[in-house]
A = this chain, B = another copy of it.
């Protein structure tokens, strides 16, 4: 079977992953409206391509928070990579490094931060953080990540409680006994994984906790989950360095807009004071181009990365990234852009449909 586009990897993963793992990765909240909108919304955005520009020399590299990456697609934080591939997050780290892009490692990794670092020394990595009721746990994690050379701290802000993912409830989803949330071992008892493991998170977190985080680390702080101009403004005022427009892959509050629809509002509010990224619904290189045209500095992929892992671990994820890279480069060229700096809002129009 030729792996030609990302949906080939999706089909493979659906076929070969254990149902409980596929369901967990695929899950959206409630009716999955937002999860599905994340993808459909791209179809309503049309390109205005420009012709006869010299696109013989394509430069698709960019920088995020000052660090160069080979193209504006990174790996969004997702949990439990061992559910997709035995080597888990170590494979993810290696693939991201091989492709010279950014990997945001999840708190809920099935490998330790130390293992992840050792698997791909020198790779660009950010660490994704939930704030636990026991703040010492979070503090330790931040400080371990910084010590290990992680270069950014991504605070997930849209999960005071876990969204209702019906299939996970039906399946009684929990990690198999041989997998662990290794970063949290010792910090507290987590062997009985269930959807309620999130109940260890602190739903009382507020904007002021950004100051607390700031006090713990020199790392830049990126906030993930922003969907409105009001929160974008608050994020900037509280001193974050970046914003990821995200709806948690449609897994939290069902009924929020597609991220690509929320992006414009956030970008306008932020006015270039901090970098804005996006995750959710990226399935083709042209989706990346649309997100950049609407103001994203970089996008991150969640489920497609897991499908790549499920296919062939590190190698499969590299294939996913390479396909996106090739498609993105081609889309840029066909739209008449030879470098990232030529991409702008003039490249797109919103469809009447």
Contacts and interface: CB of A to CB of B under 8 A. Distances in A.
Interface residues of A, number: 64
A60 to B, nearest CB: 13
A46 B259 CA distance: 12
Contact of A5 (B166, B284, B331): B166
A87 interface: no
Interface stretch (A103-111, A113-121, A184-192, A199-207): A199-207
Interface in A324-343: 326-327, 330-331, 333-335
Given A4-B170, A169-B4, A257 B54 contact: no
B4 A327 contact: no
Nearest to A53: B206
Interface string A210-244: 10000000000000011110110010000000000
A147 B157 CA distance: 53
A103 to B, nearest CB: 24
Interface stretch (A90-98, A174-182, A247-255): A247-255
A52 B255 contact: no
A11 to B, nearest CB: 13
A17 interface: no
B49 A334 contact: no
A290 B254 CA distance: 12
A333 to B, nearest CB: 5
A51 interface: yes
Number of copies: 4
A256 interface: yes
Max chain B CB contacts within 10 Å: which of A33, A43, A203, A209? A203
A168 to B, nearest CB: 10
Nearest to A166: B4
A160 interface: yes
A344 B351 CA distance: 25
B46 A257 contact: yes
Nearest to A350: B352
A161 B330 contact: yes
A331 B331 CA distance: 38
Given A2-B169, A203-B56, A204-B56, A254 B48 contact: no
Given A56-B202, A284-B30, A286-B255, A225 B334 contact: no
A49 B290 contact: no
Contact of A160 (B4, B286, B290, B333): B333
A45 interface: yes
Nearest to A41: B353
A164 interface: yes
Contact of A52 (B51, B161, B209): B209
Given A5-B164, A164-B326, A253-B331, 17 more contacts: A4-B166, A30-B286, A31-B43, A47-B253, A48-B230, A49-B253, A50-B228, A51-B226, A52-B207, A52-B231, A54-B204, A55-B161, A56-B204, A163-B330, A203-B333, A252-B334, A253-B286
